[in-house]
Amino acid sequence: MVDTSDQIILLATLLARLLVPLLIPRYPLPGVVAACLLDMVDYTVIRDHTNYTMENYQGFDKALDIYYLVIAYLSTLRNWTNLFAYRLGRFLIYWRLVGVVLFELTQLRGLLFIFTNAFEYFFMFYEAVRLRWDPLRVANRVMVGAVAFIWIFIKLPQEYIIHIGQFDTTVWVDAFFNALRTYLWLWVVLALLVVFVIFAVRWIFRRLPPADWAPSLVVELEPAASAGGSKVSPATTQPARFVDSALWEKIALVGLVSIIYVQILPEMNATVVQVAIFVAIFIVLNTLVSHWLAGRGVGWASIVREFIVMAVINLGLVLGIAFLLPRMGGSIHLGNTLFMVLLITLIVTLYDRYRPVYEQRVAASGE
C-alpha cells in the first residue's frame, strides 16, 4: 500500500530528474554527471524504498533520459566554441534519437546497439577539456579520436550488455557488494586499482599542454569572444527570416522527441504521421508567436518568464489537439500529454535562446 512517505520519495526523485538537468547549460560537467548518476539510481531508490509498482515508471524514465540528453545538446549551442566539436555532438545526438525512434517502433533491441549513445560521454570529454584548456586548440583529429574511442571501447560493450545480453546491472551491483563483504582481498585489489588510476592520470596530465585558464565548473555566456565578437543577448535576438534552418531543426528535434514520448508513455495513441503533423503545426505556431512578440518589441529578460508564457500558449494548443485528434482516429492521455508538452516547451524555449548564440559564433568564425 502506498503511503505519504512513498509519495514524497517518488515526487522528490521525479523533481530531481527534472530540475538537475537545468543546471547543465551553466554548469555543464557537474550537471550532466549528476543527471547521469540520478538516472542510474532513481529506479533502485523507488523500487527499494517505496511500495510503488514499477511497470509505468520505465516509460517516464526513458522520457527523462531523452530530456536531459537533449538539454545537454542545447547547451552546446550556448557553450561550445569549437564548431567542429559541436557538429560532431549534433550528429551523435540525432543518431541516438533516430535509433530510439526506430527501436520504439520496431522493438528490435539490436538497433540500440547500432545507434549507440556516444553523445553523453563525448559531452563529458569536451567539458572536461574545457575545464583547463581552450577547446579551439584541440585538433579535429583528436575530437574524432575521442568519439571513436568512446564508441568502440565504452558504448558498444555497454549497449551490448544492456540491450543485447540484457544483463540485469542491479544484480551485478548487488553481487559486487556481497563479494566485498565476503572476500576481504577484493578491497586490496580495489586499493591497487585506485593507486594505478591515480598514477595513470598523473602521467597523462604531466604530458598535457600548459593550461589556458584556472579550472572552473561555470561556463559564462561568451559566444564569440574567441573570434573577436561581442556578447549576444538571446533575450532580444530574433532570426531575420521566419523559415530558416533553425525552424527546420526545431521541427526535427521536437518531432523525434515527441515520437519517442508517444511510444513510451502509457495511454498515448497516435501514429508517427499524426505526431509529425501536429509537431510541425505546434512549432510553426510557437515561432509565429515569437516573431509576432519580437515585432512589437517584446523581449524576454527572463527565461523563466518566457517559459511560463509559452507554456500557457502551448496549453491552449494541446487542448485543441486533444479535441481534434480523436476525429483523426487517434487519442491522447491528457495528463501524460501535458507532461510531454511541458518538457517540449522547455526544449523549444532553450533552443530559441541559445540558437542566436551559436549563429553569432558561426558568423564570427567566417564559416
Look up residue 247 and give its three cell numbers. 525552424
- CA-wise closest residue to 292 among 309, 275, 304: 309
Give 226's pLDDT tier (boundaries 50, 70, 90).
Answer: very low
What residues pair up with 331 in beta bridges, in sequence order?
Answer: 269
Residue type, 117: N
- Cell 540485469 found at: 168
Q: How many CB atoms lie within 10 A of CB 356?
A: 21
Q: Which residue has the higher pLDDT, 50 or 277?
A: 277
CB 336 within 8 A of CB 266: yes
Please provide residue 322's backbone torsions phi and psi, each rounded to the nearest 5 degrees.
-60, -30
Give 317's pLDDT tier (boundaries 50, 70, 90).
Answer: confident
pTM: 0.85
Q: Which residue has the higher pLDDT, 301 or 218?
A: 218
- Cell 483523426 found at: 328
Mind listing the pLDDT tens digit for each residue in 164-174?
766 655 666 66
Write down the domain spans for the chain: 1-167+216-220, 229-367
Mind listing the pLDDT tens digit for each residue in 241-271?
667 888 999 999 999 999 998 888 767 777 8
